[in-house]
Structure 1
């Protein structure tokens, strides 16, 4: 469970990330490409439409694959094995108390947190944000879990 202060900081930071300047909402919406679904999209014969969404994103200068998008998660999680593969120093970990609860219900202690510059999407439709990741030492088939953005 995230500490209340960390939740407030994360929420504040996400609001800042959403603000890209003095554009009106209508101007911002006209700049984005539109996505349209038809009835044919809903009547698909394709199986497993509920498969997890797994993407690749950029953390600083590194390309990280196997990133799970989990809109049901309130935390952004970086697994310690990935942290080590990125050759990051333990000195940059900020002390964070508490535990996360895994999908199986097991409590997983948080080693610490780290802010990393994260690039979502590809140029020219990319967005760069500093995201605070909770670092946990727990096995996962993913390198990161991105929660609600």
Structure 2
């Protein structure tokens, strides 16, 4: 297939036809992290970090020795500080073949309870050159073979 260098990325009303409107739902999707299809991943343009919650880390059966020590605390709701257990770099795959990308993503592993298994923040979204839309509940990004996409799970977002 031919390489498309600078595809135009946009959304149309057709992209929103299967959604329940009016909504203010979060952008929650399923993506492949390492060897696992990970559900309830929050895509957050406001987050300056990628976070993997420890319960998901454990379910992935990743050895704790893989964690790289870090001393950068996370600032949570109410300005509470959470000290990560460490950082781990894992391959993340998004999109459907052939419009997909796989890139290594560094996650801070946090041991606290949260409604999501992971958070993808600006570092990853920017490295993918991703465009997000909460209205269309979708992420789109350029690939070697056109525009790839990840559709959010509106039901999971509402839970």
Asked if Structure 1 and Structure 2 have the same fold, meaning a TM-score greater than 0.5 normalized by the shorter chain, the answer is yes
Give 2:78's aligned residue.
104
Match of 1:47 in 2: 22
Q: Please, which of 108, 117, 135 is the counterpart of residue 109 of structure 2?
A: 135
Q: Which residue of 1 aligns with 2:67?
A: 93
Q: How far off is 1:72 after superposition?
A: 0.5
Alignment partner for residue 62 of structure 1, among 25, 31, 36?
Answer: 36
2: CA distance, partners of 1:51 / 1:36: 17
Question: How much has 1:37 moved relative to structure 2?
Answer: 3.7
**Equivalent residues in 2 for 1:70-81 (5 A)?**
70-81=44-55
Shift of residue 123, structure 1, vs aligned partner: 1.3
Q: Distance in 2 between matches of 1:76 and 1:28?
A: 27
How many matched pairs?
116
Cα deviation, residue 28, structure 1: 1.4
For the residue of structure 1 that corresponds to 2:55, the secondary structure is: helix
Match for residue 10 of structure 2?
35
Structure 1 residue ranges without an equivalent (≥5): 1-22
Q: As a proportion of its length, which structure holds more strand?
A: 2
Separation (CA, whole Å) in 2 of partners of 1:59 and 1:36? 26
Q: Which secondary structure state, in structure 2, belongs to the residue aligned with residue 65 of structure 1?
A: strand
Q: CA deviation at 1:125?
A: 1.2
Q: Give 1 or 2: higher helix fraction.
A: 1
Please list every run of at least 4 consecutive aligned residues from structure 1 whose deviation after the TM superposition is greater than 6 angstroms: none
| Greater C-alpha radius of gyration | 1
Runs (5+) with no aligned partner, structure 2: 126-159
CA shift at 1:36, angstroms? 4.1
What is the rounded CA distance, in whole Å, between the counterparts of 1:102 and 1:121 in structure 2?
30
CA RMSD of aligned residues (A): 2.0
